[in-house]
Amino acid sequence: MNRREFLNASVGAAWLPQWARAAGAPSPLLKGKAEHVISIWLGGGMGQIDTFDPKRRGDPLKKIAGSYYDSIPTAVSGVQICEHLKRTAPLMDRVTAVRSVFHDVIDEHAAATNRMHTGRSVSGSVAYPSLGSVVAHERRALQDGVPPYVLIGYPNVTRGPGFLGSRAGYLYLTDTRHGPAGLSRPEGMGADRQARRDALLADLRGQGAEVNDARLRDYEAAIDQSIRLSGPDFTRSFRLNEEKATLRESYGGEFGQRCLLARRLVESGVRFIEVSHNLNFINGTGWDVHNGGIKEQHGLIADLDQALAALITDLEAKRLLDRTLIVITSEFGRPPEFDSGGGRGHQGRAFTCVLAGGGLRHRGAFGETDELSKKIVHDPVSVPDLFATIHAAVGVDYTKNLYDGDRPVPITDGGRPISVLFG
């Protein structure tokens, strides 16, 4: 090797990600065929040992660590899940419960929520974009006249675009009985008055100088998008009463209706939809089942089960399941031990996230924890690895950099996809 060849090789190696240099030659880029993501967020901390990674039965009264419920077999031999996931069990051949996800955030819900949405710790110098914003930025909407990213739940900075700017932000709604409030005219606003306002806005924008400030350009783009989205084509997506009553009933209550709306948004061309399951009235605490909150946790699990099974079968019936990746995440899991009130604390070192559909080679479960789902014993999956898997499934290059000004920021912080799910 001559001097020039040596220098070229050295420079090339220096630009490889750290994990690729450590492992030798980088692996071929994985790319799936999914076009949409429906991300189901279980705020509070879904207990993996009580849902998708059941172990031996415990006893909260006797303080014997273990699962709160019995487990049942599934469509995949050797894979069992909680007895209250009875509708999902026959569909587990379309699902992979990733049982070996981990991070180092334990006791702080806000920090863990940020980690599970951005893939990183909170930074004082960089406003990292959320997973949904990255997918929106990289893939855009599938059709004109629809937003790339919709949040069905309450807005939060952890779901936001960070340094990517408002074009990678989300449209949100909190009630499936109505579309986003910002897309409808205020009461008393007739067509003539709206036309006059549009003319005034056009005149003001025509008089202004060329906009060079990035924030103002984002604001202008947001105005243009809101005008487009307020038209009848997109707003029709929110008319759930157009669906057959039997189908609506199959999805269940409010959370199920959110999942049904997500399917309709997929059909309209939205790229990424987050559906929040934050309906705490079912058990009083939501998924954060400290103390007595765990006593009615089965109702929460059954609510998830009904909506998830309906969503999978509905997407499959419409030939959309292979094109739509369903993701279920939570800020952390729960330990096998019971607290003084019979509930559970927090556990970030081993918990479960779920993938379904999306054209992946599903296997029921991936990764393995010990006999009490307390420690990972095989195939650990970091949050960047999980994000890389999602990005790869939907055709985003998980090895590239985004840029905060001139500063390069890796999309997944060096994550590697779960390769056995592709092929």
Tokens of 11: 């420079």
User: Could you tell me the pTM of the whole model?
Assistant: 0.86
Q: How many helices (H) and strands (E) does the chain have?
A: 11, 15
Considering the four listed CATH numbers 3.40.50.2300, 3.40.50.720, 3.40.720.10, 3.90.180.10, the one that applies to the domain covering 30-184+235-421 is: 3.40.720.10
- Sort strands 95-102 and 351-357 into parallel, antiparallel or unpaired: antiparallel
**Residue 306 Cα distances to 213, 279, 329, 409, angstroms:** 48, 15, 17, 39
| Tens-digit pLDDT profile for residues 56-83 | 999 999 999 999 999 999 999 999 999 9
Which residues lie across from 136 on neighbouring strands? Answer: none
Which tokens in the block code for residue 129?
Answer: 């974009």
Which pLDDT score, from 0 to 100, does residue 164 have? 96
The interaxial angle of helices 109-118 and 131-139, nearest 10 deg, is 20
**pLDDT tens-digit series, residues 320-378:** 999 999 999 999 999 999 999 999 999 999 999 999 999 999 999 999 999 999 999 99
Whether residue 67 contacts residue 118, with contact meaning beta carbons closer than 8 Å, is answered with: no
Q: Which residues pair with 403 in a beta bridge?
A: 408
Task: Determine whether 240 is exposed, middle or buried from the number of CB atoms within 10 Å of its CB (0-12, 13-18, 19+).
Answer: middle
In this predicted structure, what is the pLDDT of residue 281? 64
Measured between alpha carbons, how far is 306 from 323 in angstroms, rounded to an integer?
Answer: 21
Q: Say what angle helices 214-229 and 191-207 make with each other, to 10 degrees.
A: 160
Tell me what the mean pLDDT of segment 305-321 comes to: 98
Annotate 104-141 with DSSP letters as a single string.
S--S-HHHHHHHHHHSS---SS--PPPHHHHHHHHH--
For the stretch 371-401, pLDDT in tens is 999 999 999 999 999 999 999 999 999 999 9
Contact 43, 276 (CB under 8 A): yes
Is the per-residue pLDDT at 3 higher than 70?
no
Residue for token pair 């579309």: 179
Q: Give the phi and the psi of residue 394 in degrees, each rounded to 5.
A: -100, 10
**Banded pLDDT at 200 (limits 50, 70, 90):** confident
Is the confidence at residue 187, as pLDDT, over 70?
no
183 vs 237 pLDDT, higher one: 237
pLDDT band at 225 (very low <50, low <70, confident <90, very high): low
The arithmetic mean of pLDDT across residues 249-257, rounded, is 96
Contact 122, 114 (CB under 8 A): yes
Mean pLDDT of 278-292: 82
Beta partners for residue 272, in sequence order: 37, 149
Q: Residues 396, 400, 405, 407: is their CA dihedral positive or negative?
A: positive
If we measure between CA atoms, which residue out of 93, 97, 55, 51 comes closest to residue 76? 93
